[in-house]
Structures are given as C-alpha cells and as structure tokens.
Amino acid sequence: MVKVITYGTYDLLHFGHIRLLERAKALGDYLIVGVTADDFDITRGKINVQQSLMERVEAVRAIGIADEIIVEEYEGQKIDDIQKYGIDIFTVGSDWTGTFDYLNEYCKVVYLDRTQGVSSSELRSQNREIVIGVVGESVVVRKFITESNYVNGVRISGIYTKNNEILTECLNDISLFEAYEVLVNHSDALYIASHPTYHYEQIKYALERGKHVIYESPITLKVDQAKELIVLAEKKNCVLYAGIKTAYATAYARMILLAKTGKIGDIVSVDSVCTSLREVDYTDEDTMKQVWNSMATWAPIALLPVFQLLGTAYRRKHIYSRVAKEVCGYDEFSKVEFVFPHAVASIKVGKGAKSEGALVVSGTEGYIYVPAPWWKTEYFEIRYEDVTKNKRFFYQLEGEGIRYELASFVKSITKHTINYISRDQSLAITKIMEDFFSKKDFTEI
C-alpha cells in the first residue's frame, strides 16, 4: 500500500483545495491530511485564518477524500509524521516548489500544480478591513501595534495617549490624535490600554457610537460600571472583548482543558504568581496618575486560571498588600487568598517585589506545573507521584499571544464567536479590583 501525506490550512475550503486533495489521493492508496493548528504559521507569519481548527478539520473530513486527518502543531513535525506513518509520498502545491526538497531523504516529494481560480487569500480579502484606534500609555500598546502587522484585515487608524514619550518608537507611520473623540470617529473599533480609571468613560463613549472595544483587563474598577458596559455593548450589538493575552495562547488553553478533564484528578488548589520589578518615581504626581499599580497590572492575568479552573463562586477571600507610603493606592506587592467550596487558591502580584512567576495546579492524582513566566508559556508539565508517568507539553507562542488575541477579536466582529473570557470571569476580576481599592477584606502589610 502506497501512503501519501499532504498538509495545509484549508481555511474557507474551496474547489481548489478539493481538486488538490483528489490529485494527492490519486498518487497512492491511503491519504493522510495534516491540518495546521490555529497558532502554527511557519512561513507567512500572518494570523489570517478565518475558521477555527475544528471547523477546518470538519470541512476536510466532510468531503470524504482523506483516509486519515492529523493536526500539524510544530516545526519539524513533517519528518516525524513521515517516519511515524511510514509515508511513501509527500505532496503539496507547486507554489511550495523546492521548499520541501529536504524531505526526499525520507520519501518521494511531489509538487502538484494548483487549480487556477479563487484562493483562500482572495476569499479573505473580500472581508472589509477593520480599522482599530489605539488608546493608552501602557508599554503593551507598542506590542499591540507591532503585532497588528501580523493579523490580516486590520489597520491601525491612530493613537490617543496622555504620554507621548512611551510611544515614540511606534509613531513613525501612525497618526497621533489629540482628542479621543476624533480617534473614535476615525475607527471601527478601539483597543483601550489606558489607566483603568479611564476605562469606564472611554469604553462607554465608544460603545454609544457603535464601536467595538477590546480592552486591557480590568474592564473598570467598579462592578456596577462593568455590568452597565456589558449591557450597553449588547444593546448596541458591539463586541466588548477582554484583552488578557494569556487566554488566547494554545499552551494555556490546553493546560486548562487537561486540568478540567481530570488529568490530575480533582483540583484542590491553584497558585498563580505574576511579578516584575519596575522603577517608579513616587514623587511625580502626574506620572503616578498614569502608572498601573501591581494589582492593575498583574491581577487580571493571575486571576484568570483561578476563575477558569475553580469558577467565580468563592466563599471568601482576603487581600494582603504592601502599599507605597508616598502614594495612596500604589501597591508594591499584593497577595489574594481564596476559599472555594472544594478548593483553595492564591495569587501573588508585584511590581516592587520579585518572586518565581510560576503557576501550579494541584490535584488529587497529580499536579500541573507551568514555569516562569507562566503567562507567556510555551511549555508545561503534568507531574505524578510515579515520575515515569510525567508528561511534557510544548506549543509555540508567537508575539506573547497578542496576535492570537487580536485575531480572535476580529473574528468575533466578523463571525460573532464567543469571547475566551466569560462575562462572569470579567466581573469577578472587576470585583477583586473594586474590593482592593475600597480596602474590603484587606490587610496592609
């Protein structure tokens, strides 16, 4: 039996794809089709896929040509697959001619002429470009603008900021708006990374004018305001998207899934740590108004696995903070402890203290360890009492997850998909922030 293997994204499956798969099948007796994972893009460096991995796999399955479908998740997998499945022929379209000649050492390589006609890129280009205005002073703004270059169907309209100096590097080809209202008028959507104290008014203004919004969490610092914005977004039929980049990383998503499906038994504890030392001039009041404290910077990220694994119905919690004496409300280090019905959890965050930035999920049968910095994870382990059963998982992460987050936001606008971070989780994060600033369940250390 002659085994043939081919790979592709198969986004917006069309006749050209089908014809290519038919010709690949004709080369042998058994065809294996590798569908690229959502975060796997070796050559183009573009996040331009309109359909999810499962949608694309099901589309390939539905045409009934493939004898077997696998998922391509990492560079170098082609060699592994050829050896694993005993492949005789590797084939792809002629636009890749020469690229995979190195595989001739393992099997025969055949480049097939592509069917002339519409391509996935042409189909995607028919979608209207989404123009995004950028707001804020956080250093993540620069990363967002850079990563937007890797997402098709997106254009940055300009920036509105209260601190031009922090954005100098990314202003070369982007307009600087002196008024937020003008930026909103020139945009289809807004990316808001301003200080959380400005979020409510800025998000509300954008939503009232029918603009979609992606914001750096927390949405606001008050639960009532957050609920009001969520209702307003629904009323205006706008996407209101929580921008915690970690949620969109493949490794993180797989870790959450494995934990929820009982790979470590019942979860009894989640411990999350996020710290980064930052120099702060406490004497400059104007600067301090723009500086995110430890809780605002790190708590939404640190809280994410707690609420996604254990839910938001905790019985009680307590906040411990080391607060800078010079500035009210700026915490150098904070710890939040939770008690849930059947588990406990803790987060530690800091910009004035350093700790091991790991994530540990403890279970009755084993535990999951995500090394520092866990919020940028490409790798995690499931560990057991019997170390021979330990497993390691690797997933490539590009752009710290920001490009996946942005691509998902765009897809939500065009395809009305679901946010990776639920409404309840966003509100639970806001509740912790509100209690911190009001010093509820709070001890200063």
Q: What pLDDT is stored for residue 46 in this prediction?
A: 45
Nearest-Å Rg of the Cα atoms of the chain is 24
* All residues at 6 or more sequence positions from 288 whose CB lies less than 8 Å from its CB, including other chains: 280, 281, 282, 327, 330
Which of 376, 197, 223, 357 has its CA nearest to residue 292?
197
CA max distance for the chain? 76
Q: Can you tell me the distance from the alpha carbon of 347 to that of 335, in angstroms, rounded to the nearest whole number?
A: 6
**What tens digit of pLDDT does each residue of 110-123 get?**
999 865 554 544 54
Q: Which two tokens stand for residue 271?
A: 């411990």
22-54 pLDDT, tens digit per residue, is 999 999 999 999 998 766 544 444 455 566 677
Helix, strand, or coil (residue 419): coil
Q: What is the pLDDT of residue 44?
A: 41
The answer to whether the CB of 159 falls within 8 A of the CB of 135 is yes
What is the pLDDT averaged over residues 203-210?
Answer: 97
Q: What pLDDT, on the 0 to 100 scale, is given for residue 115?
A: 58
| pLDDT, tens digit (0-9, with 9 covering 90-100), for 127-144 | 568 999 999 987 788 889
Tell me what the mean pLDDT of segment 357-377 comes to.
Answer: 96
Domains of the chain: 3-122 (3.40.50.620), 123-244 (3.40.50.720), 250-396 (3.30.360.10)
**161: Cβ–Cβ under 8 A, 6 or more apart, which residues?**
135, 136, 137, 141, 167, 176, 194
Question: Cβ distance 272 to 357 under 8 Å?
Answer: no
Q: Look up tokens 């990220």; give the residue.
A: 301
Q: Give the count of beta carbons closer than 10 Å to the beta carbon of residue 145.
A: 21
pLDDT of amino acid 42 = 41
For the stretch 287-336, pLDDT in tens is 666 678 899 999 999 999 999 999 999 999 999 999 886 666 789 999 99
pLDDT band at 400 (very low <50, low <70, confident <90, very high): confident
What CA–CA distance (Å, rounded) separates 118 from 16?
7
- For the chain, count helices (H), then strands (E): 13, 19
* Residue 326 and residue 282 in contact, taking contact as beta carbons nearer than 8 Å: yes
Q: What is the spatial distance between Cα 339 and Cα 336, in angstroms, rounded to a whole number?
A: 10
In which band, very low, low, confident or very high, does the pLDDT at 173 lie, cut at 50, 70 and 90? confident
Amino acid at 382: I
Q: pTM for the full model?
A: 0.75
Mean pLDDT of the chain: 87
* Adjacency order of strands within the sheet including 68-72: 68-72, 30-36, 3-8, 89-93, 108-112
Kind of pairing, strands 189-193 and 154-160?
Answer: unpaired
Give the whole-angstrom CA distance, residue 91 versus residue 105: 14
Confidence of residue 240 (pLDDT cuts 50, 70, 90): very high
